[in-house]
Amino acid sequence: MNTTTALEVRRLSPALGAEIRGVDLREALSDAVFEQILKAWHAHQVILLRDQDLSEDQQWAFGTRFGPLAGGHNRQLEASREGIAYVSNVRKDGKPIGILPDGEMQFHSDQSYREQPSQGSMLHAITVPGAGGNTVFADCYAAYETLPAEVQRRILGLQALHVYDYSLNPTQRGGRDVAADVPRHVQPMVRVHPVTRRKALYVSRLMTAHVVGLPDAESEALLSMLFDHVEQPRFIYSHAWRKGDVLMWDNRCVLHARTDFDPRETRLMRRITLKGEPVLAA
């Protein structure tokens, strides 16, 4: 395509997200086109490109334009490259071939329990269930900006412990009583996005266990108020998947969750996780 042509960018919801049209991700993108995609990602927090049909190599080529990929525990035999994984409920010999196979998952930001959490994640829908299995996004900028001023002041100075045990049910919060080898990290409750410089709330129902320095009851009261606040419908975009969707979210300013789906249906996504970066405290 002509590199001077402006891409068509359409909002996906009043809250967040945008669909980008007119790009075939199988082709090598010019720097000018990629710049527009990157700008849309930073502006809308979640971007969607429909009707794509990418091989592992093509998805890898697009993903690495955003930055290096994360290695680590997601590596699987089925994926040829580090940083690529399959999210799937497909089973071979009774064992899921992918990570995070079934059902509902509570709101979280990927790898928030690491010192340097992933900056963003991308899913490419290969097989989708007839209904459900939506990925639901919450806008953490708007969540922070709409808190009462006294709550903003209070949480700006606070940190919280993030922990998650993948062997637990993904509808349960990571507690403080998980095994000692489960990864955990203390994070600021409000972070600054390194590109947009906007402040974002950085706690999640699935992974934030405790506010540092607060008694249990006070910590629980503050966290549940913040979880309920960020999960309000006005901050949410719920993505109903279509085969061929490529969707990318920014872990620095959105939370995501998954709705339940019929376990008899197949859901297969190819996932890319971008490498981590230090969290900037607000």
CA–CA dist 223, 208 (Å, integer): 8
- Considering only the stretches 50-58, 102-110, 173-181, 184-192, report the one whose residues sit in contact with Fe ion under the rule CB under 5 A: 102-110
Nearer to Fe ion, 219 or 273 (CB): 273
**Sign, CA torsion 225/226/228/232:** positive
Task: Check if 245 is active-site.
Answer: no
DSSP, res 240: P
Nearer to Fe ion, 88 or 219 (CB): 88
Phi then psi dihedrals of residue 27, to 5 deg:
-90, 155
What is the distance between the terminal CA atoms of the chain, rounded to a whole angstrom?
Answer: 40
Cβ 254 vs Cβ 46: under 8 Å: yes
250 binds Fe ion (CB under 5 A): no
110 binds Fe ion (CB under 5 A): yes
Catalytic site residue from 185, 256, 258, 267:
256
**Shortest spacing between CB 162 and Fe ion, in angstroms:** 13
Nearer to Fe ion, 23 or 276 (CB): 276
Neighbours of 112 (CB within 10 A): 26
Catalytic site residue from 110, 139, 165, 250:
110
CA–CA dist 148, 225 (Å, integer): 12
Task: Check if 229 is active-site.
Answer: no
- Considering only the stretches 52-60, 107-115, 125-133, 165-173, report the one whose residues sit in contact with Fe ion under the rule CB under 5 A: 107-115
CA–CA dist 52, 39 (Å, integer): 20
Number of alpha helices (DSSP H) and beta strands (DSSP E) in the chain: 5, 18
- Considering only the stretches 54-62, 104-112, 178-186, 244-252, report the one whose residues sit in contact with Fe ion under the rule CB under 5 A: 104-112
Task: Check if 110 is active-site.
Answer: yes
Catalytic site residue from 44, 108, 173, 205:
108
Which residue's C-beta sits nearest to Fe ion?
110
Q: Which of 108, 89, 197 is nearest to 160 (CA)?
A: 108
Nearer to Fe ion, 23 or 253 (CB): 253
By three-state DSSP, how is residue 24 classified? coil
Task: Check if 256 is active-site.
Answer: yes
Q: Which residue has the tokens 């994640």?
A: 121
- Considering only the stretches 82-90, 109-117, 127-135, 163-171, report the one whose residues sit in contact with Fe ion under the rule CB under 5 A: 109-117
**Shortest spacing between CB 251 and Fe ion, in angstroms:** 8
Residue numbers at the binding site for Fe ion (CB under 5 A): 110
**Residues annotated catalytic, as ranges:** 108, 110, 256, 271
